[in-house]
Structure 1
Amino acid sequence: MNRRLLLAAALASGVLAGGCASPDIADHQSEKPVLDLRQYFNGTVDAWGVFTDRSGRVVKRFTVVMDCRWNGDEGVLDEAFTYSDGSTQRRVWRLTRGADGRYTGRADDVVGLAEGQARGNAFRWRYTLALPVDGRVWNVAFDDWMYLMNERVMLNKASMSKFGVTLGEVTLAFTKR
């Protein structure tokens, strides 16, 4: 009886530990089409998105027009956001391509250095955003996953958290002109 209980506990802890494992960019190595950020984010890219809170309720809808250009391994992604309430925002990313599909980036409202890596059709991008909320600024961790669907369409899902607690998600659909 004790042996069964110990075995059940060991199996349950293994299942629970496995449930906490995060996805790995290497899992996408063989997926096609292969994503080259310098190629996809070059020219004009349009996006449509929603922010949902942790209960799944849509809090904000928005569109983005991105003017993207690269000079070798240095890129600029100039994002112009328009929200459903009529407000606007601009973020200018300055990206650097490194070895092994790795990228780093900076933007005025990003705290420190953003880091990411591309594998196969996927790109994982992690950074901390200084997010204004009700007259205060919160440093919020973003874990972005982008998936190239075809030469024109890419999907993006990002989770937002603070102190390890999920605050919500951002979902975007990109279309390259």
Structure 2
Amino acid sequence: MMARHWLKALLLCASVALAGCSTASLEDYRGTKPALDLQTYFNGPITAQGVFQDRSGKVVRRFTVQMTASWQGDTGVLDEHFTYDDGEKQRRVWTLKKQPDGRYTGTADDVVGEASGRTEGFALFWDYTLRLPVDGEVYEVRFDDWMYQLDERTLLNRSVMSKWGVKLGEVTLFFRKGDAP
């Protein structure tokens, strides 16, 4: 009888621990407002400011992004210009495509294959593998992006970077629509 109680307690603790490790689902945001429409939000000038934190949470890099975005039908172009706190500059040009099922795909020169994403309510989940230059080497790093539209002009982006399933760090960005590049 005592062993049965211990087994029940152990199973309950394991269930609570596993529930604590679960991740958010895009469906958790169904019906939330404002509804994120990529063709509306990512259209025109946008400015973003962000930080990269290593796996310990320490901010190791800050940056600003000036971008312009435009759409022709279901195809959009995001032209991003990054300026880092150490003076380094980078450019990434995304080509986004809205699919018939409502998903989005995206390509860029430093993206391996195709990025894939979907919106639900005010959220977008977007994942891709990026070729990331670090100290003269290029690494393929997975990005799991969550974007949340906070209001008509503001979007929060939180990305977890990983390699072989190991978390390398996080990127956090605040986007402001309508700010001129």
- The verdict on a shared fold, with TM-score over 0.5 as the criterion, is yes
Write the mapping of 1:71-90 to structure 2, written as runs, cut at 5 A: 71-90=72-91
Unaligned runs of 5+ in 2: none
Q: Deviations over 1:66-114 (max 9, x none)?
A: 1100001000001000001111000000110013431000000011110
Relative to the length of structure 2, the TM-score reads 0.95
Partner of 1:123: 124
- Gap change, CA 1:41 and 1:116, over 3 Å in 2: same
Letter in 1 for 2:43: N
SS in 2 for 1:157: strand
Give the corresponding residue for 2:167: 166
CA RMSD between the two structures: 0.9
Q: CA offset at residue 16 of structure 1?
A: 2.3
Deviation at 1:63, TM superposition (A): 0.3
Conserved in 2, the CA contact under 8 Å of 1:47 and 1:65? yes
Within-5 A mapping of 1:96-135: 96-135=97-136
Matched residue type, 1:92: V
> Superposition pairs for residues 7-86 of structure 1, below 5 Å?
7-86=8-87
Question: How far is the alpha carbon of 1:19 from its aligned partner?
Answer: 2.4
Structure 1: runs of 5 or more not aligned? none
Give 2:41's aligned amino acid: Y
Q: Does 1:138 align with 2:139?
A: yes
Whichever residue aligns with residue 61 of structure 1, its letter is R
Instruction: Output the TM-score relative to the length of structure 1.
Output: 0.97
Aligned pair count reads: 177
* Identity value in percent: 58
Alpha-carbon displacement from aligned partner over 1:28-57 (angstroms, at most 9, x marks no partner): 011100110000000011000000001111
AA in 1 matched with 2:87: G
Q: Residues of 1 paired with 2:135 and 2:93: CA distance?
A: 23
The alignment partner of 2:6 has SS state of helix
Residue deviations 1:137-171, cap 9 Å, x none?
A: 11111000000011100111100011111110000
2:157 matched residue in structure 1 = 156
Alpha-carbon displacement from aligned partner over 1:103-142 (angstroms, at most 9, x marks no partner): 0000000111100000000001000011111111111110
State the 4+ residue runs in structure 1 displaced beyond 2 angstroms: none
